[in-house]
Amino acid sequence: MAERVIVHEVGLRDGLQNQPRMVPVEGKLELLDALIAAGVRSVEATSFVSPKAVPQMADAAELYARIPKRADMNYEVLVPNEKGYERAVAAGARTIAVVIAASDTFNRRNINMSLDEATLVCEAVVRRTKREGHRSRAYISALAACPYEGVTPPERVFDLTAKMFDAGADEVALSDTIGAGNPAQIEYLFESAIRRHGAQRIAAHFHDTRAMGLTLAWCAIKAGVRKLDSSIGGLGGCPFAPGASGNLATEDLVFMLNEAGYETGIDVEGLRRAVMIAERLTGQSFGGRMTNFFRAQDARRQAKAKAS
């Protein structure tokens, strides 16, 4: 039996958060329905952040109230602090994510807190989540490098990971937020984290800024990771990290995993339909490397059909 890898879709939150065209709740639900139809079963649905800071997420409570409630679906939401946590729980969320950058400057630019202050806030949210019977995920962003400070010291990543687990986090997602990692670095970071905390508690989140998203994902998989984040069509990028282009595309990750013999439960053709919906909603052209490949195949088939 093929080994299962969970593909965690973050397009609805990380992918849409900095899109210039506002996507209404109905559009987000349409995209979510397409993802579910394709077989996606783990989704970061939204974030309960300040509407002034991230207007695209201003509809978080309404959206969460309307998402399909299915026993086979895992929905997660991002919160910046305890106020966001309270809003999320009031809306019905039961899996809460927090994020802390492994860089003092990145935290100051992102949330106007020092690294120490941000750590305390995340620990407080995670402890409360644990105490009140919910699940929690902690992102450690700027895993490989910070756009302001350069290469991230590995021990800082390991220290923050340990602090999140000590506070009660169920899972830590090591996140190369600006796509700056290299294979040797990623292998070392994930092998070390898994050796200390176990493969089932470590997830991976990559961006494709330098066209190495799939390579780094494969390094994490070979290190033992069995849950990876991705965004439909490669949507997204961090608005607080200069040069951080889109996330690793879901269709690319799923195609690679399916071809390599892993079980994802996700149909690539279904993802192609989701990409088209994302393009229509945002008014932009998206799609990972496999999308361009499939479009070329479609064109060849159409040309052959016309010639026959």
Beta strands in 48-166 (DSSP E): 74-78, 95-101, 135-141, 145-146, 150-151
Please, which residues bridge with residue 75 across strands?
43
Residue 238: active-site member: yes
The rounded distance, in Å, linking the Cα atoms of 225 and 202 is: 6
**In this structure, what DSSP letter does residue 180 have?**
-
Residue type at 84 in one-letter notation: G
Q: Among 122, 146, 219, 238, which one carries the catalytic annotation? A: 238
The rounded distance, in Å, linking the Cα atoms of 231 and 161 is: 23
CB 157 within 8 A of CB 140: yes
**In this structure, what DSSP letter does residue 171 have?**
E
In three-state form (DSSP H/G/I as H, E/B as E, the rest C), the secondary structure along 48-108 is: CCCCCCCHHHCCHHHHHHHCCCCCCCEEEEECCCHHHHHHHHHHCCCEEEEEEECCHHHHH
CB 274 within 8 A of CB 286: no
Q: Which residues are annotated as catalytic?
A: 238
